[in-house]
Amino acid sequence: MNGFEYITPKEERYSFADAVKRLHQFEEILQSHDIEIQSGSVLEELCLNTIDFLEQHRHPETIDPQRDFRREFAEVIGLQEIVRKLLRHRNHPDFSQLVEHLRLLNECFPAQNTPSPVTDEGSNKTFELLIGLCCMDFGRNITLDNPIASTGKNPDVLVEINGQTWGFACKVLHSPNSQTFFNNLQKGIEQIENSPATTGIVVFNLKNILNHDDYWRLTNKDQFLKGQEPLFSAFHNRDEAFAKLQADGEMIRQNVLGGIAPEYWNHLFDDKKAIPGFLHFVQMCAGLRHDVGVHPSLFGYFSMTPIGKNPTLYQMSVLRALDRAMHNQPI
């Protein structure tokens, strides 16, 4: 087993006013495809929470000092990550490939930086949507496997990059169980092998394994439950927060891999189109100290774990492009 390489991290901060403006544009995109934001859905709740945060920002006297808003804020930021990419690619020639996934946003917890229930298949499909959106930054002829009528035989995203067809098999883990991870890796390899892809990689989202509370902790839980105002932890700077995220991601990776006997890896990728190895993706909200108080910021990264041999320079260039697209950076 070779080591792995971290790819570019990114911190994001948000303007409430810009977030609300983007939501109106997002709603227009949905309506242009005959999709309405459904009353009572989580999607509607996140949109209303965004507007609520803007109003409280403009009128601080309306803020409830005893409100624990961490989960709501993290979900709002997670939705914004999807919305920003949708707006960026609304005129992409392959945008129609996303429509069936957009319909599922009404039926799931869409944010990919917060945990979702194991029964929430729509949230897993939203990870496919996010990867597909990222591929639109640098690929063409993009195809997403139909999330409703999927047979599970093809990778979730197919995209043409520099004359090659790449397949991205997207997997969302709900436990650190090594056998579950290995089974998903095997399935992803076979999906790529049985598809029109000429190469590809399995991508794991670790959002349901990461302890998100560690990054923005309620420090006076007992007192808060008795009616006191909540107090929250915060990192002194982004490097401190990202170092913890790296360490936690590495611990999850080692724990998952540690339960698999070495002989199982020996021929896993023999004569396969998939790149020997896998990507894992981690994203979360952390509290950061600033001059005017504590602000939540979004952190995330992709990590490549080679198995047997390292990716080629060309393959790494594509994976870095995926990372830059995820973090809204120019390719």
DSSP reduced 3-state for 296: strand
Would 295 be classed as within a structural domain? yes
Would 55 be classed as within a structural domain? yes
| Four-point Cα dihedral 95, 101, 107, 112, nearest 10 | -90
Would 2 be classed as within a structural domain? no
Q: In which band, very low, low, confident or very high, does the pLDDT at 14 lie, cut at 50, 70 and 90?
A: low
Residue 263: CB partners within 8 Å, gap ≥ 6?
Answer: none
C-alpha distances in angstroms, 247 versus 136, 233, 242, 244, 326? 31, 18, 9, 5, 21
Tokens of 228: 């006191």
Q: In which band, very low, low, confident or very high, does the pLDDT at 208 lie, cut at 50, 70 and 90?
A: very high
C-alpha distances in angstroms, 107 versus 37, 95, 112, 207, 307? 10, 20, 14, 19, 37
> Does residue 4 carry a pLDDT above 50?
no
Distance of alpha carbon 119 from the chain centroid: 18
Residue 150, pLDDT score: 67
The candidate with the shortest Cα–Cα distance to 283, out of 97, 78, 94, is 78
Mean pLDDT on 66-84:
94
Q: What is the pTM (predicted TM-score) of this model?
A: 0.93
Residue 135, pLDDT score: 98
Q: What is the mean pLDDT of the chain?
A: 91
- At residue 242, what are phi and psi to the nearest 5 degrees? -70, -35
Q: In which band, very low, low, confident or very high, does the pLDDT at 27 lie, cut at 50, 70 and 90?
A: very high
Q: How far apart are CA 234 and CA 296, in angstroms?
A: 9
> Does residue 6 carry a pLDDT above 60?
no
Q: How far apart are CA 106 and CA 41, in angstroms?
A: 6
Mean pLDDT on 7-33:
82
Are 299 and 283 spatial neighbours (Cβ–Cβ below 8 Å)? Answer: yes
Would 54 be classed as within a structural domain? yes
Q: How far apart are CA 197 and CA 168, in angstroms?
A: 9
Domain boundaries, position 87: 7-326
pLDDT in tens, 283-317: 999 999 887 778 888 888 999 999 988 999 999 99
pLDDT in tens, 138-154: 999 999 999 987 666 77
Would 1 be classed as within a structural domain? no
Q: In which band, very low, low, confident or very high, does the pLDDT at 263 lie, cut at 50, 70 and 90?
A: confident
Would 165 be classed as within a structural domain? yes
Q: How far apart are CA 92 and CA 325, in angstroms?
A: 15
Q: In which band, very low, low, confident or very high, does the pLDDT at 110 lie, cut at 50, 70 and 90?
A: very high
Mean pLDDT on 10-22:
76
> Which amino acid appears at position 130 of this protein?
L
| Four-point Cα dihedral 261, 266, 270, 276, nearest 10 | 70
- At residue 160, what are phi and psi to the nearest 5 degrees? -90, 125
Split into its structural domains, the chain has a count of 1
Tokens of 317: 């260039």
Would 87 be classed as within a structural domain? yes
> Does residue 5 carry a pLDDT above 50?
no
Would 253 be classed as within a structural domain? yes
